[in-house]
Amino acid sequence: MARIIVTTDGAADGTAPVFLEESVHPVHLSTEHAALQLIERLTWALDDAEAAEGAEVRRRMSKRARPARRPPRALRATATRAA
């Protein structure tokens, strides 16, 4: 049985969300209407996967762009006195 699976490239741990997993039969392409419905579902899944990948990239970039956290007040005061 043929299947269509739409997913993202996945995370470093090998997990990836699945946006479409569907068994496909010749009947899905037997009429123009059925084919257009399949293409519509595939398009939605591709759009969702692309948006998820973009969100993941933005999340990773924002993590790198964050400024370093300030040390707790007690450590700042100790460092100031030592200098």
Total domains in the chain come to: 1
Query: In the predicted model, what is the mean pLDDT of the chain?
Result: 80
What CA–CA distances, in Å, run from 67 to 33, 56, 60, 61, 83? Answer: 53, 19, 14, 12, 23
The residue segments making up the domain with residue 12 are 2-82
Q: φ and ψ at 82, to 5 degrees?
A: -70, -25
- pTM, rounded to two decimals: 0.63
Confidence of residue 81 (pLDDT cuts 50, 70, 90): low
Residue 65 burial class via C-beta count within 10 angstroms: exposed 0-12, middle 13-18, buried 19 and up: exposed
Please, which residues bridge with residue 24 across strands?
2
Helices (H) and strands (E) in the chain, counts: 2, 2
Model confidence over 39-72: pLDDT tens digits? 999 999 999 999 988 887 777 777 766 666 666 6
